[in-house]
């Protein structure tokens, strides 16, 4: 049986923190689908095509990792992909409350998968896509933060 996990998000843009989580997830699952949400309430800075292209380039040649998009409920997408888990990253306590709510709400919609939380390397605990966008916008360098 192939164990598939979905790693959903906006990836606006993908950071080294996201990649760290994906590589950790690979130790637990046979296949990970990095799924970019088309229906996020956040209005993205990078277009969907750009975000997909960054992910595909960063993950090229990594076996067992796919990149896809989804719209509508994540729980429906999990069913369609026959996934057994959703991966989310936890950087700090500040992530916890939102992630906890989401995980339990998703479980209400579909009880046949688990949400698995992974913690990145300490180097990435302060890293977020929004900070990367802000630094870049203000002319700072983002080397070491994004692929």
On whether the CB atoms of residues 146 and 132 are closer than 8 A, the answer is yes
Element holding 109 (H helix, E strand): helix 93-109
Judged by beta carbon, residue 1 or residue 51, the one nearer ligand ADP is: 51
Report, in Å, the least distance between residue 1 CB and ligand ADP: 25
Judged by beta carbon, residue 68 or residue 95, the one nearer ligand ADP is: 95
Judged by beta carbon, residue 1 or residue 134, the one nearer ligand ADP is: 134
Report, in Å, the least distance between residue 7 CB and ligand ADP: 7
Q: CB-side exposure of 132: number of CA atoms within 13 Å?
A: 21
Q: Which positions are annotated as active-site residues? A: 18, 42, 91, 129
Judged by beta carbon, residue 1 or residue 102, the one nearer ligand ADP is: 102
Question: What is the maximum alpha-carbon separation in the chain?
Answer: 48
Q: Extract long-range pairs of 54-59: CB within 8 Å, 24+ residues apart.
A: 54/11, 54/13, 54/14, 54/146, 54/147, 55/11, 55/14, 57/147, 58/14, 58/19, 58/147, 59/19, 59/22, 59/34
Q: Which residues bind ligand ADP (CB under 6 A)?
A: 9-11, 15, 17-18, 21, 40, 42, 88-89, 91, 95, 120, 124, 127-129
């Amino acid at each position: 049986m192939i164990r598939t996990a979905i790693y959903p998000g906006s990836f606006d843009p993908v950071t080294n923190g996201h990649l760290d989580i994906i590589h950790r997830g690979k130790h637990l699952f046979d296949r990970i689908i990095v799924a970019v949400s088309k229906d996020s309430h956040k209005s993205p800075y990078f277009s969907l095509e750009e975000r997909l292209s960054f992910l595909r380039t960063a993950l090229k040649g990594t076996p067992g990792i796919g990149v896809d998009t989804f719209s509508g409920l994540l729980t429906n997408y999990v069913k369609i992909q026959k996934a057994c888990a959703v991966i989310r990253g936890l950087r700090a306590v500040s992530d916890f409350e939102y992630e906890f709510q989401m995980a339990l709400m998703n479980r209400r919609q579909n009880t046949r998968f688990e949400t698995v939380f992974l913690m990145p390397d300490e180097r990435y605990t302060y890293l977020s896509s929004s900070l990367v966008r802000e630094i870049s916008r203000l002319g700072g360098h983002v080397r070491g933060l994004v692929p």
